[in-house]
Structures are given as C-alpha cells and as structure tokens.
C-alpha cells in the first residue's frame, strides 16, 4: 500500500515535490556516521590498536600505579629499603711471589649488603644502589616522562601554531621573518646545546635542583617548535588556496574567525598526528638528558637516570650482574616511543583520506 | 586624463561599472630582484552590468575571466582601473569598510568540493556570515537560515550535517544558499556548473533563475559553456587572453557574431543532433602564453582572417551597432 | 571542536520524521568487511593461477564483425559500506571500424565498463563477478577477457586495445621526455624493434596526429606542452601499436571548446586511418551526437537504452534519455523554464529491485515500483528498458492519455 501512496504523490507532482522522490531514494541505503569513519579507519589497523594498548598500559602504570603503591604499602619513590642479605665478596690480588712467579690471591668472605636487593615478593624488581624500590621508581619515572613530554609537546604546538599560522596566513615579510627564525633554530645542533645549557644550569647555584626540570622543558620546547611551525605554515598555505577560504573572505568574515574557525580546525588532523609522533621524541630526549645526569635531579626517578646506573664507565658490575636495575626502564622507553609512533601513524592513516565521501 | 575622468559617468541603472580593469601578476626572477615581466591576466577590460540582469562572461581557460570576477570583489588587488559598485569606487574603500560591504556582493564557486569547509555543519556554513553581519535579529536567525535552505531546495534536516555527506549538486545548492543568505544585490557565479552532471546542471540553472526572479539579483555568470551562458544571460562578453574581444546583447552576439574568435567559439560547440553537420571553424594551435602575448591583436596568431595590420596595432574596442562592441580590425578598416 | 561535534548528531526540531538517514551499526560494518574479505580472497585466488591453458580463455564471438562484445557484464566493488554494483548486467557490442559512444552521469559505471575490458578494475575491491567480455584480435582469434591470465593480457593491453584518459597530464610521466615515453611503448609491444625504429615510429605517429614541430615535441617534457598538445601526444601514443580498439575516456572534458573541436576532428580522422574502433566514454551529449555511430546510455550501472545515434537522438524512448536531451539548455528555450530531471543520482549501494530511475521519472507508474523493466526492442539496433512500452505499463499509459484528453475537454 505504501508503494501506491508514494506513486500517487509522484505522479501528481512533477516539479514541486522533490522531497518525496529523494526520500524514497534515501531509504535504500545506509551511510556511516562521520566520527565513526575516522575511528573505524583507526581501529582497522592492528598496529594502532597495539600502540593504543601500550600507551594505556603506560598511563595506568605511571599514574594509577603510584597511588596504589602509596595506598597499600605507604611508600614513595624515595623510600630507602635496607634489606640485609649476605653476599659473597671475593677479593682478588696479584702479587709476585718470592720465587719470582706471579701469584693470585683470592679471599672469599661474606659481607652484609643492604642495597641492590634481588627481585623478591615485596620488591618485584629488587632495589637499586641507593636502596630504592625499582618497580616503584619505574612508575614515578614514567610519570615524569609522560608529563614532561605532554607539556613540551603542548607548548611546542602552541608556539608552532601561532608562529606558523602567522607566517602562513599573512605571508610576505611575516613569513620571511618567521621562517628565517625557524631556519636558525633548525641549524642549531640540538643535543650539544642542551648538554652545555644543562651543565650551565647545574653550575648556577641560585637555581634549585628541583627547578632544573622546568628549564629543561623550556629548552626542549625551544628546540622542537620549529617542526610544528613548518607543518602548520605548509598546511595553511595549502588550505588558504581552498575555495572555502575565499568564500569566507567574500562573505566578509573577519580575519580572526577565518583563522580560528576555518583554518585551524582543518589543520587539526595534521597537528594531532605531528604532536603524537613528537611525544616519543621528547621522551627519548628527556631520557638521554637524564642518562647524562642533566635531567631530573637525583633522588627523583627518571627512566634515563635509572639506565645510567648501568653506565659502563662506572664499572661493569651493574651492567653485568643486575639487569633488573636497567632493563625494565629501557623496555618502558621502547614501549612509550613505539606506542606513540603506532598511534601517530594510525591517526595519520585515519585522517588522511580526506573527509570526502 | 580629464577626458577619461569624464567617462566615469555613473549611470544609476548600472549596479556595476568596470573601467580599464588591469590585473598583472609579477613573475619574480630572483629572490630579491625586481620583477621585470608580468602575467597580464586581465588587460584593460571595461564593462557595466544593469541592475537585475545577467551578464555572461565566456572564454577559454586562462583567458582571465575568473580573475575578472575575483578582482571585482577585491579578493585580488587591482593593478589599475576602476570598479564602481552602486556608484562607489571599490578600489578606494579601506578594508574594514569593505568587509562591511561584502554581503552585498557574493560569489558562487566552481568546485563544490573545496568551497565548503569540511569541518563545519551546513547550518553554520550558511549562517556564519549572517551572524557576523547581523543580517537578521538573533531571535529570527534559525528560522531565517531554514527559510534560505528551503528556498535553495535543501531539506531542513541537513542543518547539522557535514558537507561530505552530500553530492556535488547538493553542495552547490549549499554554496548558493550561503551567498543568498546575506541578501546580496550582486552575485558572481564562477563556473558554478562545470563540476556537475548534466541532469543536475539543469536543476541548478533553474534554481538560479528562480532566485533571480524572486529577489532581483544581478549575476555575473562566468562560464566556458556557451549554451548555458546563452540560456542565462542578457548580455555577453567574450574574453581572450585577458582582453574583451566582443561584448553585447546576447541576441546580437548569437545571431551576428562579428569577431572571428566568437565565430570560432560558437561553431566549436558540439550540437546534440547527429544530422546537423556544423560548418566548423577549427582554430589552429593553442592559446599563447599571457606572459608574452602576441603584439597588436592578441588573437592574430590563431585568427583565420589575420591581416598585416593586426600585428602592428591593437584594435580599438568600439561599438559597431547599438549594444554591440567588437575589438577587430576587420570592421575598423573602411 | 569539530571532531567532538561530529560524533554527536543533532537534529532540527520537527524534522525527525523527515530525517531517515540510517547509519551502519558496528556489527553490520564488521559483517560487511568480513564477507568482503572472503569474497575478495576467492576471486584473487582464481586470478592468480599460473599456467592457465589457452583453451580456457578462447571463445567464439556472437557476431564475427564485432571487435568487442560485452555480455551481461557485472563488475562489483566490495566496499566497507556494502557492495557497489558499478556495472550490473551490461550487454553491448563494439563493431569493427565504428565509434560506440557510452554516455551517462558520473558514477553510472561507464568508466568501470571500459576498465573491466582492460582488466584494470581496482583489485581486490573491484571484481568482475559475472558475464563475459569477448575480444577478437586481427587474426580472428577470440579471447574471453574475464578469464585471461594477467601475463597474456599484457600483450593485448596497450597494444591491441589502448586507452586515452581525461587528464593527459596525469597519464604522462613528468620526469621523462615525450619521446622516451613514446619509444618505450613501441619497444615494449613490437617484436624486434630497435631504438631507431621506435623513434621513427614515434615521429610518424606525432606527425599523424597533426603536430607541427615534431622534433621539438619529441624532445620536450610533458609540462612544457599545453593541454591540447598533451592530449594529441596521448593519442599518438595510443596509436603507435596499431590498436584494434581505442578507449577514449572523456578525452575532451578537460579541454577548451576550440581545442575540443580540434581533438574530436583528429579522433575521427585517425579512426579512419587505422581502421580501428573507438569506445567513446563521455557525459556530453553533443560530443556523442557528433562522433558516435552507436550510443549506449547508462544509468546506475545498467544500460537503459541503446541504439544508433539517429535513433537515440531523434527518437529517444527512455524517460531518462528524453530528460537528458531536454535538460541541455539551448537558445530557443529562453523564456520558459529549463526542463530538469529532479532528484539526485541514486546511491549505488543496495539498489532496489525495481526500476532505478522511477523516483526521478515523470512517467513513473505503479508497475515501475514493483519490478525492473524488461528490455523492449524497437528496431534491430534500438532497445530500451522501460515499463512504458509493454504490458501493464503500456496499458496504464494509454488509460492516462485518455484521462488527460477527457480533462482537456
């Protein structure tokens, strides 16, 4: 019956009633909702799901973990555990004997050691050279790494968007100026400068050790914003040529709204991708600096400084005999960097086929 | 100069008057060097449009017709010449005032895919500028947008949809609605049909005609499709390499094309009738580069009637019968 | 802001009943992609077989005077939203030495038809699911293209069947000179060709397509040429191996009218010189009227009407064809409204089982909403798929005419 009714309407209305004919056509297919399109493409790739799982794990580990530890056992990263255990101590000396031959002297004795406890039920990964619980320190270290990387990336993105946006939108001398600044920053060798600066800050006594981390973040930001600025400028140069920007101008939308309602939302996908990919980089940087003793100051935990315990220049002992002290921190760095890269790639592929269909 | 100034006699019948419009794009040779050569995208074009009529601007790609449209709206700065809109010289208005005037002159773009911001819902695309310019009081805003959408054949529930859900024809309707919502007097249509299917083209043509009848818009219709221009326009201008070759009443141009280029253009249109074999004028060669246009008459390199004088001096754009101007030496000789 | 907004879906009050757009649920989506994967794998396995014996793809033509016969061809695309039946039962012939025009709107399957013939349908989403395409080579040997192994197809594609695309810039490689690209085609497809003979052949071809300064064009890069010139080069390239059939997919759409006239003239000229056939795909009825001998009108993956160019243009039968002709503006329709086919091209997913055009058709009747019309033959060459001309539909049409006359009185 429904068919008959529709038919009548269509015969009676040749021109006027477009709606019904269109509706009839619309009933025969289903479309996909726009937000889900991106989500679907993202979740289609196994790698991005793996990445997401890695990062979720890290977040739980570093932000929820410390709370649980604190609530159940009531200690923090700098709690010193003195676990007594007997350890074999072998003293070895070589000396020339009265007969002229070389002799080796061994003395095997037992010592009482309170640090460097092996993994146990109470301390899953043991304790380190200062008697801190390694597992707990991994959590706190992750918290520092993630917070630093998010703050740095956020600041980089803000600076990059503002400067890159100005350069791309206004062009001419603004563009020249900004891009030359970017060029200068791109010329600077990042690591050496960071080393020098960190060392300088260390030696200035008026700066308390706890504040060093803020300076560190500022430097990381300063070194990193140029990439974002370049990308934003490129995006805006491309988007500016789109006809909808011209349409915004002909309809007399003011420049502020043109930038923030039209340009920025359309440049957003690209920005999210760059930022995600950048997170891993910052974590690496932070770890490197901590490894070199220039990052987070001592009693506080950082993945980099935890690996630094195994620094071979200070003796092979930890590197060889205590993998529980440095391997987990290394693994977590790998997980963080890989996780962010996987998510970034997944997002890029999800956004990339432009929102047409 | 004084005489030229006299020519800017503003006729109140005309909504738009363009005098000697020029738009050159410099080609910079070195990073900091001064540019010596220019792309003469629009080179000395003058015309006027009467209120409530449609002027068609035809020509091949690269002839500068799109640039004419954009320069009139000052999306590109004018190199030289005057554009009067409603008797006011647009090139002298400061940007802030120009922005306030924008709603009166609107534009419909060629590519329905890139002319709508993909991250804005339809209602906002249409209404953004309405809010900005306070075209209607806030309380009536939504009803007004829905009414404009209905006028343009868009269903109300599209309001919160995003552009990617629509076909080319519907997107072009949205683009039209965005222009119409600002209650403009004058609309430049820059090839609005060329990306659409034939059956959809006819719908959009009808929509544009209906809107014109209802609200009395003046159109400048830029297109390469002669049959559409013939259908929609009252007057027609034919452009070639940045210059106006022939201009006049539609009927006169189609019944009696004078310029050899117009003749060739008209004869090149394929006819939907297998039995009509056109006596076709096939032009030799390609359009020359606008960086280095031929001396004298720009068309002479492809013109079947080229004469020695054509290379020496440019023909004057003159009226040979009422409302019919041509720039060609064929008619100026005697 | 944009992303979050898009996840929410708001509605305008009072239009809830109008807004019947449905969204795929996650479960449906998963089911679709699971099924697609299975189907695609199966077809790909079939295609990847090695050493297929020749008998499997040799066949007989229905009519030996044809170069190509499409027979009930179905090419589907298995997309994430569902199966798109791009070509849905297409049957037509391309006779030797004739121009067959395929006309239709975007998405009607005209390009996919030609790509199926070239075995260039984008795999694994796109697959020929049913039907056959028969091709007859110069020696009278007939091949079944749908069953041809890929390596054998290489010998036909580009040599015996060549293609001209809409946008010549994207089909020429910008880093090689025109000459190098043309020579490559000749070297690839001609046995015993040397670089000298290839160059000679290329230059001969460039001469054939009416390029004046052959040496200069031969030594230039694609970006140095104008659009019309590039299209000429493309045609020269397509001709260089003496093809039996040229597929011209919207060859003039990107060109200006005056250049279009040159290229069409050239195509006609060239066809006579090489005694080949042309399959001309376009949306422009004017181009079809000028060029084609036979016309095939496609709509939503099906042929709705076909016939000789005179039959189609002087006596169109299907309401869609009639509508297309009427909706092209011409000078004498000035003051009346231009006729337009209302509505939009239907979404290609889950097409109904009745006539695809009936929601846009002025003559739609009861029966049109019930079943897909049969093909009605008006002459040996002219046929259309429409209810207006047989059975129940014809009856109702007569009745309605009587009513109109009565009302008139």
B116 touches chain A (CB under 8 A): yes
**By three-state DSSP, how is residue A76 classified?**
coil
Chain A residues whose CB is inside 8 A of the B153 CB are 18
**B126 vs chain C: nearest CA distance in angstroms?**
15
CB contact under 8 A, B165 and A251: no
Q: Is the pLDDT of residue B267 over 80?
A: yes
C164 contacts: CB under 8 Å, gap ≥ 6: C231, C234, C235, C238, C246, C247, C248, C249, C251
Tally DSSP H helices, then E strands, for chain A.
Answer: 15, 3
Rounded to whole angstroms, how far apart are CA atoms A231 and A301? 34
A196 touches chain B (CB under 8 A): no
Q: C228 and B273: CB-CB below 8 Å?
A: no
**Cα–Cα distance, C121 to C83 (Å, whole number):** 15
Q: For residues A155 and A299, which has the higher predicted lDDT (pLDDT)? A: A155
Residue of A nearest to B131 (CA): A253
**Average confidence (pLDDT) over A228-248:** 87
Sign of the Cα pseudo-torsion (C387, C392, C397, C400, in order): negative
Query: Looking at beta carbons, which residues of chain C come within 8 Å of A10?
Result: 358-359, 361, 364
**Mutation site for C-interface testing, chosen from A25, A27, A43, A273 by largest number of C Cβ within 10 Å:** A25
Identify the band that residue C331 occupies on the pLDDT scale cut at 50, 70 and 90. Answer: low
Residue A31 to residue C23, Cβ atoms within 8 A = yes
Nearest to C178 by CA among C206, C154, C158: C206
pLDDT single digits (tens) C108-128: 888 899 999 988 888 788 888
User: Tell me, what's the pLDDT at C279?
Assistant: 93
User: What pLDDT was estimated at residue C158?
Assistant: 83
What confidence tens digit (pLDDT) does each residue in B3-18 have? 444 456 567 788 888 8
Distance between CA atoms of residues A47 and C104, nearest Å:
42
Q: What is the DSSP letter of C383?
A: E
Q: Which residues of C touch A33 (CB under 8 A)?
A: 6-7, 9, 23
State the Cα–Cα distance between residues C214 and C212, nearest whole angstrom.
6
Here the ipTM equals: 0.83
Both tokens of residue C182?
């043309």
- CB-based contacts of C20-29 (< 8 A; 24+ apart in sequence): C20/A23, C20/A26, C20/A27, C21/A26, C21/A31, C21/B165, C22/A30, C22/A31, C23/A30, C23/A31, C23/A32, C23/A33, C23/A36, C24/A30, C24/A31, C24/A32, C24/C81, C26/A36, C28/A30, C29/A32, C29/A40, C29/C80
Q: What DSSP assignment string belongs to C237-304? A: HHHTT--SEEEEESTTTTS-HHHHHHHHHHHHHHHHHHT-EEEEEES-HHHHHHH-SEEEEEETTEEE
In whole numbers, what is the pLDDT of chain B averaged over residues?
85
pLDDT of residue C1: 39
User: What is the rounded end-to-end Cα distance, in angstroms, of chain B?
Assistant: 29
Answer yes or no: do C366 and A23 touch at CB < 8 A: no
CA distance linking residue B276 with residue C290, whole number of Å: 9
- C23 to A27: CB separation less than 8 angstroms, yes or no: no
C10 has a pLDDT exceeding 80: no
Distance from CA of B272 to the nearest CA of C (A): 4
pTM listed for this prediction: 0.81
> How deeply is B264 buried, as exposed, middle or buried, from its count of CB atoms within 10 A (0-12, 13-18, 19+)?
buried
Provide the 8-state DSSP code for A130.
Answer: T
Instruction: Name the minimum distance, in Å, from the CA of C372 to any CA of chain A.
Output: 15
Judged by CB atoms closer than 8 Å, whether chains meet at C364 and A11 is answered as yes
Check residue C103 and give its pLDDT: 92
C-alpha distance from C307 to closest chain B C-alpha (Å): 13
pLDDT tens, residue by residue, A296-317: 777 888 888 888 887 777 777 7
- Tell me: the pLDDT tens digits for A2-28? 333 333 333 333 333 344 444 444 433
Question: What is the pLDDT, as a whole number, of residue A35?
Answer: 64
Tens digit of each residue's pLDDT (9 = 90 or more) over B295-311: 888 888 888 888 888 88
Q: What is the per-residue pLDDT for B275? A: 80
| Residue A103: DSSP 8-state | E
**H helix and E strand count, chain C:** 14, 13
B226 and B268 Cβ atoms separated by less than 8 Å: no
Per-residue pLDDT reduced to its tens digit, A180-231: 999 998 888 877 887 787 778 778 877 777 777 788 788 888 888 888 888 8
**For residue C337, what is the nearest residue in chain A, using CA coordinates?**
A15
Query: Is C18 a residue whose pLDDT tops 70?
Result: no
Closest CA to C86 of C70, C73, C100, C103: C73
Considering CB atoms only, which of C15, C105, C229 is closest to B198?
Answer: C105
Under the banding of pLDDT at 50, 70 and 90, the label for residue C13 is low
Please give the residue that has the higher pLDDT: either B37 or C223. Answer: C223
Q: Find tokens 């009943």 and name the residue.
A: C17
Local confidence band at A1 (pLDDT 50, 70, 90 cut-offs)? very low
Task: Note the pLDDT of residue C332.
Answer: 57
Chain A positions touching C347 (Cβ under 8 A) are 25-26, 28-29
Q: How many CB atoms lie within 10 A of CB B271?
A: 17
Which CA distances in Å does A353 have to A230, A255, B207? 22, 28, 32
Nearest by CB to residue A35, choosing from C3, C29, C360, is C3
Q: What is the CATH number of domain A53-74+124-351?
A: 1.10.3720.10
Token pair of C69 as six digits: 């016969």
Asked if residue A29 has pLDDT above 60, the reply is: no
Cβ–Cβ gap B198/C257 under 8 Å: no
Interface of B with A in 181-240 (CB under 8 A): 182
Check pLDDT > 50 for residue B29.
Answer: yes
Looking at the predicted structure, is the pLDDT value of residue B62 above 50? yes
The H or E element that residue C78 is part of is strand C66-79
Q: Considering only A11-20, C16-25, C131-140, C192-201, which range has the smallest mean pLDDT?
A: A11-20
Percent of chain C past pLDDT 70, that is, above it, reads 91
- Model confidence at A59, pLDDT cuts 50, 70, 90, reads very high
**pLDDT score at C12:** 60
Domain ranges of chain A: 1-30, 53-74+124-351, 84-116
Mean pLDDT of B265-285: 80
Q: Which residue of A has its CA nearest to C400?
A: A11
Q: Is C296 or C191 the better-scoring residue by pLDDT? A: C296
Q: Which residue has the higher pLDDT, C161 or A241?
A: C161
Give the confidence band of A338 by pLDDT, cuts at 50, 70, 90.
Answer: very high
Helices A323-351 and A34-44 cross at an angle (nearest 10°) of 140
Give the rounded percent of residues in chain B with a pLDDT score beyond 70: 93
A287: confidence class by pLDDT, cuts 50, 70, 90: confident
Secondary structure class of B48 (helix, strand, coil): strand
């Amino acid at each position: 019956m429904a068919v008959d009714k529709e038919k009548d309407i269509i015969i009676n209305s040749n021109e006027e009633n477009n709606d019904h004919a269109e509706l009839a056509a619309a009933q025969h297919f289903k479309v996909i909702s726009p937000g889900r399109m991106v989500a679907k493409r993202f979740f289609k790739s196994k790698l991005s799901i793996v990445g997401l799982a890695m990062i979720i794990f890290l977040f739980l580990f570093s932000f929820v973990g410390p709370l649980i530890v604190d609530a159940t056992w009531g200690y923090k990263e700098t709690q010193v555990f003195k676990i007594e255990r007997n350890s074999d101590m072998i003293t070895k000396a070589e000396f020339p004997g009265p007969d002229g031959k070389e002799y080796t002297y061994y003395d095997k004795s037992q010592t009482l050691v309170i640090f460097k406890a092996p993994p146990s039920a109470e301390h899953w990964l043991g304790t380190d050279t200062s008697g801190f619980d390694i597992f707990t320190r991994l959590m706190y270290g992750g918290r520092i790494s993630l917070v630093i990387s998010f703050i740095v990336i956020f600041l980089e993105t803000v600076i990059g968007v503002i400067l890159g946006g100005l350069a791309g939108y206004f062009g001419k001398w603004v563009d020249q100026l900004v891009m030359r600044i970017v060029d200068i920053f791109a010329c600077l060798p990042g690591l050496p400068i960071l080393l020098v600066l960190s060392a300088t800050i260390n030696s200035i006594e008026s700066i308390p050790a706890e504040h060093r981390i803020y300076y560190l973040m500022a430097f990381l930001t300063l070194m990193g914003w140029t990439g974002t600025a370049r990308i934003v400028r490129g995006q805006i140069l491309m988007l500016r040529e789109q006809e909808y920007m011209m349409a915004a101008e002909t309809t007399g939308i003011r420049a502020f709204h043109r930038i923030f309602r039209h340009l920025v939302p359309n440049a957003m996908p690209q920005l999210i991708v760059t930022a995600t990919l950048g997170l891993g980089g910052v974590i690496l940087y932070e770890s490197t600096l901590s490894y070199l003793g220039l990052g987070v100051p001592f009693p506080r935990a950082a993945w980099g400084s935890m690996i630094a315990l195994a620094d071979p220049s200070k003796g092979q002992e930890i590197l060889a005999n205590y993998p529980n002290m440095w391997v987990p921190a290394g693994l977590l760095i790998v997980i963080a960097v890989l996780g962010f890269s996987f998510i970034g790639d997944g997002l890029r592929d999800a956004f990339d086929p432009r929102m047409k269909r | 100069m004084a005489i030229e100034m006299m020519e800017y006699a503003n006729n109140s019948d005309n909504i738009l008057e363009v005098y000697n419009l020029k738009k050159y794009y410099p080609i910079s040779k070195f990073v900091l060097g001064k540019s010596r050569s220019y792309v003469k995208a629009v080179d000395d074009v003058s015309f006027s449009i009467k209120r409530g009529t449609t002027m068609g601007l035809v020509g091949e790609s690269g002839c500068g017709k799109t640039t004419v449209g954009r320069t009139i709206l000052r999306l590109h700065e004018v190199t030289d010449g005057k554009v009067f809109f409603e008797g006011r010289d647009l090139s002298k208005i400061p940007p802030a005032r120009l922005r306030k005037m924008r709603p009166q002159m609107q534009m419909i773009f060629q590519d329905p895919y890139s002319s709508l911001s993909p991250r804005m819902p339809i209602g906002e695309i249409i209404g953004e500028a309405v809010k900005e310019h306070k075209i209607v009081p806030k309380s009536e805003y939504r009803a007004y947008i829905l009414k404009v959408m209905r006028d343009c054949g868009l269903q109300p529930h599209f309001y919160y949809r995003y552009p990617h859900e629509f076909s080319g024809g519907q997107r072009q309707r949205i683009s039209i609605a965005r222009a119409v919502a600002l209650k403009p007097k004058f609309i430049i249509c820059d090839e609005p049909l060329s990306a659409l299917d034939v059956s959809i083209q006819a719908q959009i043509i009808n929509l544009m005609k209906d809107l014109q009848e209802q609200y009395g818009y003046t159109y400048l219709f830029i297109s390469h499709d002669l049959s559409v221009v013939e259908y929609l326009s009252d007057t027609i201008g034919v452009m070639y390499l940045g210059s106006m070759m022939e201009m006049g009443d539609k009927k006169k141009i189609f019944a009696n094309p004078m310029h050899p280029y117009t003749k060739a253009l008209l004869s090149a249109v394929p006819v939907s009738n297998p039995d009509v074999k056109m006596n076709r004028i096939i032009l030799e060669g390609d359009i020359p580069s606008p960086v280095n246009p031929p001396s004298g008459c720009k068309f002479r390199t492809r013109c079947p009637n080229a004469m020695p004088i054509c290379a020496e001096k440019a023909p004057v754009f003159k009226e040979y019968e009422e409302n019919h101007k041509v720039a060609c030496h064929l008619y100026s000789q005697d | 802001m944009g992303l979050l907004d898009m996840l929410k879906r708001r509605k305008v009050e009072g239009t809830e009943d109008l807004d019947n757009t449905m969204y795929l649920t996650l479960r449906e989506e998963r089911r679709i992609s699971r099924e697609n994967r299975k189907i695609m794998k199966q077809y790909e396995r079939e295609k990847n077989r090695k050493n297929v014996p020749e008998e499997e793809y040799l066949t007989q033509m229905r009519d030996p005077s044809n170069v190509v016969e499409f027979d009930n061809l179905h090419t589907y695309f298995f997309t994430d939203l569902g199966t798109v039946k791009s070509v849905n039962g297409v049957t037509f012939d391309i006779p030797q030495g004739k121009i067959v025009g395929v006309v239709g709107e975007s998405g009607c399957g005209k390009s996919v038809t030609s790509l199926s013939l070239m075995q260039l349908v984008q795999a694994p989403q796109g697959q020929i699911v049913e039907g056959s395409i028969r091709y007859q080579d110069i020696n009278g040997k007939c091949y079944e293209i749908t069953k041809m192994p890929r390596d054998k197809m290489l010998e036909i594609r580009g040599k015996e069947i060549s293609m001209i695309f809409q946008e010549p810039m994207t089909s020429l490689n910008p880093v090689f000179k025109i000459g190098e690209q043309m020579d490559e085609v000749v070297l690839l497809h001609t046995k015993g060709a040397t670089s000298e003979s290839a160059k000679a052949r290329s230059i001969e071809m460039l001469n054939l397509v009416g390029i004046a300064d052959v040496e200069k064009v031969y030594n230039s890069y694609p970006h140095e040429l104008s659009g019309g010139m590039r299209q000429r080069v493309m045609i020269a390239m397509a001709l260089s191996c003496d093809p039996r059939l040229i597929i011209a997919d919207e060859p003039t759409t990107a060109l200006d009218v005056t250049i279009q006239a040159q290229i069409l003239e050239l195509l006609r000229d060239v066809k006579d010189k090489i005694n080949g056939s042309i399959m001309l795909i376009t949306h422009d009825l004017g181009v079809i009227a000028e060029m084609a001998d036979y016309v095939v009108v496609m709509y939503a993956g099906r042929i709705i009407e076909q016939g000789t160019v005179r039959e189609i243009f002087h006596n169109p039968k299907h309401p869609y064809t009639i509508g297309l002709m009427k909706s092209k503006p011409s000078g004498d329709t000035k003051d009346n409204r231009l006729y337009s086919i209302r509505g939009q091209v239907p979404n290609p997913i889950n097409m109904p089982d009745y006539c695809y055009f009936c929601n846009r058709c002025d003559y739609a009747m009861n029966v049109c909403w019930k079943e897909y019309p049969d093909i009605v033959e008006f002459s040996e060459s002219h046929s259309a798929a429409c209810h207006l001309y047989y059975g129940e539909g014809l009856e109702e049409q007569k009745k309605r005419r009587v009513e109109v006359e009565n009302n008139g009185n």
